[in-house]
Chains A and B, each alone.
Chain A
Amino acid sequence: MELQTLTYIVVGMTFAVYIGIAFWARAGSTSEFYVAGGGIHPVANGMATAADWMSAASFISMAGLIAFYGYGGTVFLMGWTGGYVLLAMLLAPYLRKHGKFTVPEFIGDRYYSKVARIVAVVCLIIASVTYVIGQMKGIGVAFSRFLEVSYEMGLLVGMAIVFVYAVVGGMKGITYTQIAQYCVLICAYTIPAVFISLNLTGNPVPQLGLGSMLTGTETYLLDRLDQVVTELGFAEYTTQSRLSTLNTFVYTLSLMIGTAGLPHVIIRFFTVSKVSDARVSAGWALVFITILYTTAPAVAAMARLNLHQTIQPENAQNLAYAERPDWFKNWEKTGLLAFEDKNNDGLISYTADPATNEMVKVDKDIMVLANPEIARLPNWVIALVAAGGLAAALSTAAGLLLAIASAISHDLLKGVIKPEITEKQELLASRIAMAGAIGLAGYLGFNPPDFAAGTVALAFGLAASSIFPVLMMGIFSKRINKEGAIAGMIAGLSVTLLYVFQHKGVMFIASTSYLGDMSPNWFMGIEPNAFGAVGAVINFTVAYGVSMMTREPPEHIQHMVENIRIPAGASAAQSH
C-alpha cells in the first residue's frame, strides 16, 4: 500500500482511540479533573508519567543528536533519566502525603504565604509555557507533513485535538489517553530498532546489538563505527566530547534537577492513592522511560553507521548522486538534507572537512524519522513512527496544559483572588484557562521567535533553578521560612533568565543579546542551556542565608513538616 494512505490509516486509528478514551473517562469533579480522583494504579500511573514526560524532543530529536555527538550526547540520556531518582527520594512521596492538587499550593502551605504561592505560580507558568510552545511547533510540523497542508493548518488541527481531549477529560481523561499514547510511541520506537539491530548484528535486542559484532564479521559494531567516522575525519564516536568536562557535568545536573522540578511531572504523583504507591510509581515511570532511553543510543549509532554505509557502500567508493535512494530524494525536498557537487564528479563525498564535504546539510532531527527508510523497512513501520512522534508530542502538551490551567484556576483564582467560588465554577474556570493556554501556545507557535531546542533547555533550567530547591528544602529543613523561600525562588529564576537572555537575547531575540552567544563570554565555560544547575545552587544559598537572618517558621509549620515526613494518615488529594 502507498505510504501516504498507510500513514493516514495508522495515525487516524490512534487518534480515534485517544478521543474515544477521553470521552469515556471524562471528569465530573475538580478532584477528577486535577488529579484523576487519586485512584490510578502505580503501574498505570508510571506509564502515563512516561508518556507525559517523553516529548517530541525525546522521540524525534534525541537519537539524532546522539548520532552526531556520539559520547557527547550522553548528557541527554543521563540527565533526562537520573532526575527520577531525585524525584522518587526527595519529592514525590512527601508531596503526595501533603495531599494537595498543585505544586504552588504546597509551596503556599509550607511557606505560609500567598506571596510564595504566587511567585511559584509565575515560575510554573514561565517554565511550562516555554516548554509547551516547543511541543505545539512539533505538532504543527508533524501534522503539516502527514496531512500535506500548510504548517499553520497543521498547527490548528493539532490544537483542536489537544483541546478536545485535555479540556473534556481533565487529568482522568489525560491519564488514560497517555497510557494508550505510551503504547503507541514505545512500539513505534522499538520496532524499527529491533529490525535494524537484527539486520546489522543478528541480535534482536538493540541494547545488546549495540555491543555485538556485525553479522558475518569479527568486528564489533561500535569499533567499525569509530573506524568509519575517523577515516572521514570526524571525531571518534565513542569518545567524542562536547565542550568541557565541567560543562557536561553541569548540563547533566541541570537536566536532572529540572526533571524533578517540572510541575507537570510532579503532579502525576498526586494521582496515586498511597504514599508508598508514589515511590513505586516513580520506579515504574523510570522503567517505561528507560526502555526508550536505552534503545536510543542503539538507534543513534546504527543510524549513523547506515548513513555512512549508504553514501560509501564499499571502501572509499562513494555513491553516485544519480543512484541515491528514495529517502534521500524525499528529504532533499524538505530542505533538511542537501547535497552540493563541489568537485563535479557526480559522486557523494561526505567528510568532516567543510572544503570537500558535499553533504552540506544533514539536519540532526531527521535521523529518527528517516532511519526506517534508510534501513529499507516496510512502509507500515514508517507510518507507525509518524504516529509515535505525534503521540509523544500530544501527550506532553496535554500534561503541560493541565499544569498551567490548574495553576491559574486553582492557585490564582480560588486560592488568592476569589476563594468563595464553587467547585463547578472552578472547573469551568480551569477549562477556560486551558483553552486560553492552548490559544496562547498556538499563537506563539504561529510566530515562533527563534524558539527551538533553546526553549526546551530554558524550561528545564527555570524549573531547576526556581521550583526544585524550595520544594526540597521545604521537606528536608524545618528552618527555611517564607522570606528565604521567596528570595531563593526569585534569585534562582532571575539569575538563570538573565544568563540565558544575555547570551541568547531577551525573549530569544538574538539582536538584543548584550554579550552575544559566544563561548569566550560563558561563565566558567558553561553554556546557557546548562545554567539551571548554577541557578539552583544560588537558590539554595540565598534561601538558606535569608532564612538564617530572619525568624524561624511558626510552630504549626514545623509540625506540618514533621507530619509530611511520615506516610501514615495520608488521604486522597484534596483542596483545603
Chain B
Amino acid sequence: MADNNLTARKEYWRANLRLMLVLLSIWFVISYLCGILFVEELNTIRLGGYKLGFWFAQQGSMYGFVAIVFIYARKMAALDRKFEVHD
C-alpha cells in the first residue's frame, strides 16, 4: 500500500513536470521568440493595424500568459483528482 502510494506520487510529479515543460515552452515562444528574437520577421505580417511582431510584444504575449496560467490551474486540478492528492 505504502509502495503503491509512493509510485502514484512519483507519477503525479512526473505528469506535473511534463505539463509545466509544455506550458513553459509556449511561454518562451510567445514572449522571447515572437516578441523579441523573431520580431522583425513577424513584422512583415499584418494583423489589422498591427504589425504581428509588435502585436505579440505589446498585446499577444500577455493574453497568452493569462491563458497559460488558467490552463495550468485547470489541468493540475484534474491531476489532483486523478491521483487523489487534492486538498
Contacts and interface: CB of A to CB of B under 8 A. Distances in A.
B65 A84 contact: yes
A210 B49 contact: yes
B24 to A, nearest CB: 7
Interface in B38-71: 39-40, 43, 47-51, 54-55, 57-59, 61-63, 65-66, 68-70
A568 B86 contact: yes
Contact of B62 (A78, A239, A565, A569): A78
B65 A274 contact: no
Given A78-B31, A222-B50, A275 B61 contact: no
B73 A280 contact: yes
A565 B36 contact: no
A75 to B, nearest CB: 9
A343 to B, nearest CB: 35
Given A78-B57, A78-B61, A282 B86 contact: no
Nearest to B83: A566
B26 to A, nearest CB: 9
B67 to A, nearest CB: 9
A89 B39 contact: no
Contact of B49 (A213, A245, A274, A293): A213
A279 interface: yes
A89 B24 contact: yes
Nearest to A224: B49
B9 interface: yes
B86 A567 contact: yes
B66 A286 contact: yes
Contacts of B49: 210-213, 220-223
A245 B13 CA distance: 36
A73 B36 CA distance: 12
Contacts of B85: 566-568
A245 B35 CA distance: 11
A77 B20 CA distance: 23
B57 A84 contact: no
Contacts of B47: 211
Contacts of A275: 87
B51 A276 contact: no
A84 B12 CA distance: 23
A82 B69 CA distance: 10
B80 A567 contact: yes
Which secondary structure dominates where chain A touches chain B? Answer: helix
A334 B62 CA distance: 35
B29 interface: no
A85 B69 contact: yes
A77 B59 CA distance: 9
Nearest to B58: A297
A160 B27 CA distance: 42
A85 B73 contact: no
Given A71-B57, A294-B62, A568-B85, A286 B69 contact: yes
B5 to A, nearest CB: 10
Contacts of A43: none
Nearest to A562: B9
Contacts of A276: 73, 76-77, 80, 86-87
Contact of A293 (B16, B23, B37, B62): B62
A89 B63 CA distance: 17
B87 A568 contact: yes
B65 to A, nearest CB: 5
A239 B41 CA distance: 11
A286 B72 CA distance: 13
A567 B73 CA distance: 13
A275 B79 CA distance: 13
A128 interface: no
B66 A211 contact: no
Interface in B4-40: 9, 12-13, 16, 20, 23-24, 27, 31-32, 35-37, 39-40
15 contacts: A66-B58, A71-B54, A73-B58, A207-B59, A211-B50, A220-B49, A222-B51, A249-B32, A249-B36, A279-B69, A279-B72, A290-B66, A565-B16, A567-B80, A569-B87
Interface of B: 9, 12-13, 16, 20, 23-24, 27, 31-32, 35-37, 39-40, 43, 47-51, 54-55, 57-59, 61-63, 65-66, 68-70, 72-73, 76-77, 80, 84-87
Given A71-B58, A279-B72, A282-B69, 5 more contacts: A82-B27, A221-B49, A249-B32, A276-B73, A282-B73
Interface of A: 66, 71, 73-74, 77-78, 81-82, 84-85, 88-90, 93, 97, 207, 210-213, 220-223, 238-239, 245, 248-249, 252-253, 274-276, 279-280, 282-283, 286-287, 290, 293-294, 297, 562, 565-570
